[in-house]
Amino acid sequence: MNSRQRIVSTIEKKPVDRIPVDVWLTPEVMESLFKHTGESDEYELYRKLGVDKIAWVFPGYNSESFDPNDSDGIDPWGVPTIKVKSGLATYQEYGEGPLSKMDEPEEIDQHALWPDPDKFNYAAAKATAQRARDYGFATIGPWVSHYEIYCHMRGMENALMDMIAEPEFVEATLDRIDSIQTTMIERFLSELGDLIDIVFISDDLGTQESQLMSVDVWQQHLQPRLTRWCDLIHKHGKKVLFHTDGASRNFVDPLIRCGVDILNPIQHICPGMERAALNSDFGDRVIFHGGVENQHVLPHGTIEDVKKEVITCLETLGEGGGYIPCSCHNIQAGTPPVNVIAMIETVQNWKP
């Protein structure tokens, strides 16, 4: 089997020659792996390490490509971005959102930088997807979101209060965010066709300790929109991967009911996200992607610590099939290359 066949078969819970392994890398870790392996091309690196990469395909906006974690001064929604150095890593932070000082739903029309779906670079995205397919990789794209984009445009503090205090403003803004991306999704999937396997929806619902909002509030403002997106994506024959960090257990069943096929990243150190319990309760209805702890074990553990962590993930999240081991979100700067390789090789050598 090639990498794509291994990923697709896992998602469909069909037999595989071995469990696939994916990686999410920060630029710093990518560079350290280039130096460690002598490679200089991302796809060649994955091939050399035997990674079953689910390759990112994000259409650029008035540009060749787009990285949601690395916008150049302003993102496609008109939100200013700032590069912040923290230890060994550089992160993207957001400046004051363009909707932060608005009070009434009618005011959102004053924002001049709403994205135009025609300005996304579908041709360049298609070329990226074709190159990934030529390497035998599965593909995922585009990046779409409801509440994360709302938070960027409105500011986090406003966004959290709005869900209770300003429901009309929330609804009007989410309608605009939804409409633009729905058009983009439809065109993206129509133009790329069989070159795309999975659609990536990102809307963090948890923190390290608790939920960002109640399930009731989420169901009021976000569940219907997510359901429509899942229906649209399934109509095109694609799978839905939903990304939510943190303590998100109470959302898992509602997410599955919306039509989510793959849940990421399984941040199991957070309350309620225990791996065996998640698999016992939901493993027959959703595919798990992620799980390998990236805040402590991967960056600071020994090779043996990493192997133990990966095996625990395989024995819990992987029980019964339907699991794609990967780092729990991006592997952080300073993580030793040997630990990344230990994660990959442990999956490759796993025999249940």
pLDDT of residue 315: 98
Residue pair 114/78 in contact (Cβ under 8 Å)? The answer is yes
pLDDT digit string, tens, across residues 138-196 = 999 999 999 999 999 999 999 999 999 999 999 999 999 999 999 999 999 999 999 99
The CATH number of whichever domain residue 257 belongs to comes to: 3.20.20.210
The answer to whether residue 100 sits within a structural domain is no
Question: Does 70 score more than 90 pLDDT?
Answer: no
Cα 290 from Cα 245, distance rounded (Å)? 11
Q: Is the dihedral of CA 312, 316, 317, 318 positive or negative?
A: positive
The answer to whether residue 75 sits within a structural domain is no
pLDDT digit string, tens, across residues 270-284 = 999 999 999 999 999
The answer to whether residue 254 sits within a structural domain is yes
The answer to whether residue 73 sits within a structural domain is no
- In 3D space, the residue among 273, 289, 268 whose CA is nearest the CA of residue 20 turns out to be 289
The answer to whether residue 79 sits within a structural domain is no
Beta bridge partners of 120: 61
Residue 89 has φ and ψ, to the nearest 5°, of -110, 155
Domain of residue 334: give its range.
3-63+118-348
Q: Which residues of 312-325 are buried (b: 16+ CB within 10 A; e: fewer)?
A: bbbebbbeebbbbb
Cα 79 from Cα 157, distance rounded (Å)? 16
The answer to whether residue 98 sits within a structural domain is no
Cα 176 from Cα 236, distance rounded (Å)? 23
Q: How many domains is the chain partitioned into structurally?
A: 1
- Stronger pLDDT, 73 or 3, i.e. the higher one: 3
Cα 266 from Cα 281, distance rounded (Å)? 14
- In 3D space, the residue among 19, 7, 15 whose CA is nearest the CA of residue 318 turns out to be 19
- In 3D space, the residue among 243, 4, 36 whose CA is nearest the CA of residue 143 turns out to be 243
Cα 270 from Cα 279, distance rounded (Å)? 15
The answer to whether residue 96 sits within a structural domain is no
The answer to whether residue 109 sits within a structural domain is no
Residue pair 199/238 in contact (Cβ under 8 Å)? The answer is yes
